[in-house]
Structures are given as C-alpha cells and as structure tokens.
Chains A and B, each alone.
Chain A
C-alpha cells in the first residue's frame, strides 16, 4: 500500500510537468495594456466550423523569446514535392485543396514547421522557434484561396513588399486570431497570405523575414495516420489536419466530413495515445472499441487510437448521425497506419479517403 503523502508527491510531480502557458495566442503590447482579447479557436479552425472562438489575453501570458533570437534547430517536415496527387473521390469543400498543401516555409534557421490545417478556403501552419515547447514562441501562417479573404488595411499601416508583391504591416483583424499585429501580402492577384507572430517582441523586420520564407505554389501531398473505406455516401470532406510530430509536437491527424443531408458532421482524429480511457468496451467491425454516448474510441496498433464523433455542424451536441450498420461499416473500414507515431508509415491523404 502507498501513503497519502506519496500520492500528494505524485500529484505534485504530475503538476510540475505542466506546460508554461495555456495554448492561447500571443498578441502584442497593446493587448497586454488594454487586456483586450484576440480570438482563436483551435478545433474550430481545424475543422472549419463557425467561429465560436476564444477570447484571450495573450500578450500578458506570452513568453519572451524573440523570433530573431530563436535557437537554431532546423526541421522541415512536409517538404515540397513535384508530384501532383490524384484527387480524392470524396468531394471536397472550398476552392483550395484539402489534401494538397499549397505552401511551405523554407530557409528559416531554427524553425520547425508544423503540420497543416486546411478547411477548403485557407491553409494554416504554425512555425515554432523552440520545437513547439511554448506557444508564445510560434508564428502562424495562413494562406487563403483567391477571393476568400481580403484584409482591411488599418490606418497607419506600413507598406511592405514580399517577393515583389504588395502588402502591409500593422494591427488588423486576422481570421481566428482577432486584431493582432501581423503582416499580410497579396501573393497573387486576389489571394492573400498573412503571418502573425505570437510574440510581443517580434518586430516588423521579423515578420518581413518570415513572410519572405513562405513559398506558395507548392503541391505537398497531405498525409494521414489512417485511411477510410467504409464511409456512408453523401459525405463531403470539409477539413483536414495533420501534424508530423515535429519537436515536442505529437504526431496525428484528423478530418471532418460533413453530411449536409443529415445535418451533421463526422469528426475523426487519430493520435498516439492509448484508447480506452472512457466508455464501455465492446467490439465493432472486428475492432476493439470503447463507446461513450455516441462517441467511439477505437484502439489502434501500439499506443494509438481513433476517436469518431458524430456531431452537429456547430459541434455543440453529439448526435445519431449513422445507423448501427453504417457505424460498423465506418469502423470496419478504418485502417490505422502501421505506426501512428511515424509519419513515414502514413497514407497519402489522396488515397486514404474513399
């Protein structure tokens, strides 16, 4: 038997491993002074949902490591590929591909480029300067499809030029981030990109340098740690996310499939955590599954799991989106990558979907 003192010590040890800050976006000095929030919603951005959003004071909790003083460690997951993937058969929402990443960030010493969040209108990647140890030491790149977003130039904005294309630097509203200090430029006529540094020490020169490292016009196939073959008809792929496990960022991926005719969406995510924390164990489609309400947690190889959540389009309530037979088909048709932690074993997203 253990003692309660040992239990207390253990809990303190667990607590000591807590991250330094919650994942809320860094803003700049003005925010800290006014305590006004910037807004961002991680999951909703990832999965293209309406902006429910998070109000955050960011500057007040942001770290202090400047972009320009980052430790020099380089990793470039998701390198460019000249191969053009075949389109997925599952219809995709929006004018920008979900299964092909259209930009990369190159030539930034010490930067770790994270995975991709795509919602059909834009693609977004985070870049860390401390291998994803602290949110305040990241930058955020969003690249928009043509006519999908036009920033409002604020009074006092400063003109910049990125690879000869016009842009400006100032404090203005950036989707998902709220009103922040950022740099936006028109990377091609009618199509904008924006970089936001989550660090109040970042300067205009930092953002110019950062924006200059963004390379659009890429065709990088997205990769997923799973593939699906048993989806019911009528679905439309509306969002996709993957991350390669760079630095301290864990590997994983997920997607959202909308079923407009059923007024619901299916959210699927796969990560390298153990299944079975919640719910009642059972077997569906030959797989070990834990059922908690309408949510299924499916055990994958090694330490990995898939979470299937059928929910309303605004993610507010889980719903009965599928029949039992359809659910069994989805679970039976789910194939995990051999090693969820190793992106080298993952599936090309264009072949991972029906």
Chain B
C-alpha cells in the first residue's frame, strides 16, 4: 500500500493532529472533565470531605495538641470536654487525637489500594482481552477470587502474611484487583475488534502502543469512577479488618481499632466508637459521591436520561391531578 493512498491519509490525519496539539489538549480535556464532574453539588461535597480528610491526616499532630499514645490512667474514660474534645479512652488516651491520626491509615489504604488494584487490574484485564489463552486462565482466577467475600479473603491473607501495614495493603489490593480486571476485560474486549484498533495494527503500531493508545482509552471512564469506589471500599474493608484484629496491629491508631475498643465500652463511653464510626461512614460516603459524580460526568447519556425521565414523570403527575 503506497503512502499516498487516501485510506492511509485518512487514517493518519487524526493521529498527526493529536500529536500536534498534544501540548495543550490534555489540559483542556482535564479542565472540561473536572468542570463536568464538579457540576453536581453532591460531588462537590464529596470532594470537600475528602480534602478535609487529607488535611486532617497530614496535619494530625497540629490539629490535636494531645499525644495519641500518651497514657494517663488518672484521666481515664472522661466524657468529651474542652480539653479532651472527644473524651478519653479506658487507658486515658485522648480519643480525638487517635481519631485524627487514624485518618492517616485510612487515607494511605484508600490511595495505595485503589492505585495498586487499578494498575494491576488494568494490566491483567488487558492481557485477558488481547490473548485468548490468557483470558481463560485469568477469568477462572478472577471468578474464583471473587467467590470469596472480600473482607474474609483480606483477613486470611493478612493473618497468613503477618499483621502489618504492608500485608494489609497487599491483601486488599489482591481483593480488589479482580474487580478491575473484569471491568477492563469486558470494556476492552469490544474495542479490540473495532476498526480503529485494526487500522492502528495495520499501520504497524506495536502491541503495547495499540493497547495503551487505542484500546485502553475505551475503558478510561468506567475505570476513573471505579477508582473512587474502590478507595471507599478499601477504607471500609480496612476498618473491618482492624475491627476484627486482623490489621496493622493491636495498638495501632485506626478507626477500626477505635470501634473495636469502643464496642466493649459502648454503654459507658459511647464517645470512643461513635465518632470513629461517623468518620468512617463520612469517608466512604464521600468516595461514593465522587465516584457517582465521575461516572455521571463521563457518561452524559446517564444524567441526560435521568433528567428526561424526571421531566416526563413530572408532566405525568401534573396531568394526573
């Protein structure tokens, strides 16, 4: 095929243009996506809450002047007061300080587990969708892993690997990777057979280039939404693991261990467990809201459809009256 063939010209055009404007195109795209995502007030609330969490985790020692591990048996089980905002626990430790420091583990788990499972899941999912032999093996393994309840699989892995932060991160990443792998495989399987992918291959693009530049972008929008959902799920799972004593360690400051300590003293000192539970719920909710926002923004069909439905049923209601 000669280089001047109209077909090749046509195929080359969008590619060369995107190369030409590569310096500014991503920033515009990012700006448009951000604007669309932040349009809904619920998503803005989610982002705000996550920013607050990040601030609390970063400046934990500044926010709370008390030492979270300082024992003061004389001041045990004090109710919330001006000096101890959320009271003290049964060893006289300041609950507010422990709560704020607990945000660090949650933030770390949310960030690392979501990034790790997204990265590995994408690679595995792409491998499955582009190679028939790999597909059979990978999907069997994915189905098998997903048969286990996530929290229980996490517990087994953490106990087997030893209760420390690295085990928790590895275990939860392994728990959520199959989810991503299945999503990427499903969305990219259709793309593999599409004309633009075939054309890229015909033009001599290598397998890695075809996958990253032409196949993977089709899975981008569900993946972005999934990133936030998985971060929320991972935070929730880590709290469950801590609650059952299968996480960072018995004395570690996590929301799950605050809930565990607080559960024993629920009737005498509600202020140990309840704030930790509220912090956990708020964080997971914020991740869900952000995920919903990303999904709706990148899938305009969905929001448009909902709005149309709302308008129509409004009309229906009015005519019924």
Partners in one complex: no
Query: Which B residues fall within an 8 A CB radius of A?
Result: none
Query: Which A residues fall within an 8 A CB radius of B?
Result: none
